[in-house]
Chains A and B, each alone.
Chain A
Amino acid sequence: MPAELGLAALVLAFAVAIYAAVASLIGVRRKNSALIASARNAALLTFPLLLMSAATLLYGLINQYYQIAYVWQVSNPGTPLFYRITALWGSQQGSLLFWCLLMSLFAFVALLLNWRSYPRLMPYVITYTMVTLAFFIGLSLFLENPFARYWIVPDVSAPNGLVVSNVFIPANAVAPDPTRLAATARGLNPLLRHFGMIIHPPMLYLGFVGFVIPFAFAMAALASGDLTTNWIKATRRWTLIAWLFLSLGLLLGGRWAYDVLGWGGYWGWDPVENAAFIPWLVGTAFLHSVMIQEKRGMLKVWNMVLVIFTFSAVIFGTFATRSGLIDSVHSFAQSGIGAPMFIFWAAVTLVSVILILYRRSRGELKSEHAFAGFLSRESLFVLNNVVFVALALVIFWGSFGAPIASELFLSTDITLGPDYFYTVTVPLFIAMYILMGVAPLSAWGAMSARALGRALIVPLGLTLIGLIFLILSGVSGIGALLGYGIVLMAGFVAIYEISRGVNSRHRATGENYLRAVASIFSRNRRRYGGFIVHLGITVIGLGVIGSTLFQQETQQTLALHEVLRLGSYEMRFDGIDIGQVAEDDRVMDIANVMVIRDGHELASLRPRFDMFPASEGQAAMVMHIPGAYSTLENDFYVLLVGVQPDGRVTFKVYVNPLINLVWWGGIILIIGTLISSWPSQKESTAERVKLRRGKSAAAGAVV
């Protein structure tokens, strides 16, 4: 029953999304406001329908309806309730449905919030969001249906009948025995049983689908001819929210890799990681360049290109992950959705580019100002955009371009390893940090080198002090110090700009410093939230430099109470518990080790070796779960590698300096983004006024 109900809701959502897309387009062309209103209602309806569809699949997962193939593949009777729920996005079909649900949620909220404020854009927004949604629902419905069920059909080759998975009941088919289904069900991939992996995919999906809204507004602006900054104002917050989720998704993915994959690192330049990083880079470029259009009326074509490029990267990233195009630990199974996704991606990009060219040829996307000088803020922002886009392109080339081009044109397959990414991205990241330090100090319009130099004195001085502190604490090497210096300066500029704001507020109003901080943040959340984001990126940069350049590792086999030394740490092996059986039947070998520094016992760690036993139709699986002693200074990270026949135990140990700054920087970045996207007092009043005006305008337009 849940399968039929979920399927019916999915079919309805598909039909309703197509109706909304077509009706709103016809409505706007024929100026038929009743049809537009109907399209809007239909578009709103997609969310409850998809919610119902996803809820029925969830019901099936929780209540163990193993005849539903998806439920059989991602859970079994031993799966705890929590993982039953998260299994909703644990594999291809469920995650595609979940993706559609999130996209419809974004469209739902955007339609409710923006309907009255931007009446000219909204019909086209419906069309673009619903076309995209209908496409993904179509994939779910026709190619990766989560409600397909197992049936046994008579077959001459199989005496017990042939097991097929089908949405509808095949002729002469019978349902398999429920007990047999439960006994053979597979269970969730052990690699995915981790908190980071539970919320990493939804965060990434929210980030990905979030960019549909800015894209739809940009396309609506091009289609409607409303090429003012309306589309940018409408999507500013959406872009920030999508960017926030994408950042969170990337960070959680890194954390999962660090905690579960057991190689001491968090970023491996894997094609699928890169596929999620590319939209983040282009989205970041877009977040900066829209400011130039708002302030100076420039870069109108460029902003359109960026938003399309971001959405295009999202679709390509999804295609790359789900089509089986690339080999990766992250990839879903080889699937039939590759070709349609590629066609959709190409069509979306083509239509968007044609629309831009059309509006440009009519002179509707002309800049209102020219660039006044190399050091003006707009010039530096453009340079920043160039760096972000260059990063996106070289990463794309390394992950997808070169392998595909070599196969097509050179009759040989070439892949590019981590060496390529280090060579290419490090100089570009250095340029990014330099610009992050310089651009906030320059002014809109024009800026002389002397004035910019003067503004840099204080941050440079602070950076020098920071570097002296680092040298005194033992950091050596020109490369590392240069890296730290550049990153630190970007952070000090952010702090300096915040302190300048606080000081001038304090002088102008006499408010005490604490109050002045609150005032400047509440009055210009976007600017000062942005500086907090810069601070977060600075802290991440420090963590990346420390953990990449100064990582130490060793591997030793220890007898009971024997000690190994690494850096300033010692580790004593205190024993091992072999063959512990967990709730989900995994068999664990757990070592007990003591971390010691300067003679003090700091922490007892329990690195593990988990074995998921083989079951019918499924091979055994082994995981090395590290133990870590974390401080802001470094992580002492221990892997239990193996138990020797003589009872000694082999460990692999890493000291990862400053690695926790990567996660703390991520938290700062998220706080900064939240501050930036929170409506300021001034803005909400203006929005309310606009909303009131919009209401009457909309009433006038519709009636």
Chain B
Amino acid sequence: MPLDATPELSDDVLLIRFANGDRAAARTLTLRLTPRVLAQATRMLGNRAEAEDVAQEAMLRLWKIAPDWRQGEAQVSTWLYRVAANLCIDRLRRKPPAPIEDVPEPADDAPNAEGQMQTRERLSALDGALARLPERQRQAVILRHLENLGNPEIAEIMDISVEAVESLTARGKRQLAQILAPRREELGFEDD
């Protein structure tokens, strides 16, 4: 069964159906939005368990606001990214940054175990580098380059101007490149 059984329905429409008690809409929204909000929270927090808590909390807030949702006023995903970002920032400010958790070893019998291991290593390096960025730069880079959102939507989520988003992502990317450049070869990118 496909993860999203009704790709033609917008989040807006599904949320209104959800508010009317539609179980199928609840399922579709869960499958459609949870991975996105989890990915954002994982990159922001660098901790899987905390990211899952944030994702669940953000989704719970979406369920609670559903009956009052006004169609067309805001994008559901934008609203959700914003809630998740705020929850992440609250957590980041409450405690010092946690170390990036250990990356699980791939199974030995996997056909491309070596390739998977290198992918894991690269993603772990990216997570480590992201964790070293200032909070706002990290958020902007994640939304732009990992969540693939447009600058106007990011501006709305972060409550800043589009120009400020461009500046944050450019500076964030420059800093990421500086952090990761010494490991380029080690991570499997030929320097020719």
Q: Is the A/B pair a real complex?
A: no
Binding site for A on B (CB under 8 A): none
> Which chain A residues have a beta carbon within 8 Å of chain B's beta carbons?
none
